[in-house]
Amino acid sequence: MDLIRRGNVKRHADAAARQKHAADRQQHQRNATMQRELDMLHGNSLTGSGLDRVRIDRMNALRAIINK
């Protein structure tokens, strides 16, 4: 009985570790995507257009999310 229980505990721990790794990887990908968008907005802000207020608002929103 103890052998079965140990096996179940090990499987549970392995599954939890896999889930945590997948969640961490997804969060890293989201942050990288937001950082690329922020960098793109910084570069585009040099040219200037009628969208400057929208860009600035989006850049501030991205900074707030990334710096959490």
Reported as a single tens digit per residue, the pLDDT across 17-48 is: 999 999 999 999 999 999 999 888 888 777 76
* Cα–Cα dist 27/34, whole Å: 11
**Host domain of residue 23:** 2-66
pLDDT of 12 > 90? The answer is: yes
Handedness of CA 32, 36, 37, 42 (dihedral sign): positive
* Total domains in the fold of the chain: 1
* Cα–Cα dist 67/46, whole Å: 23
Q: What is the pLDDT of residue 50?
A: 64
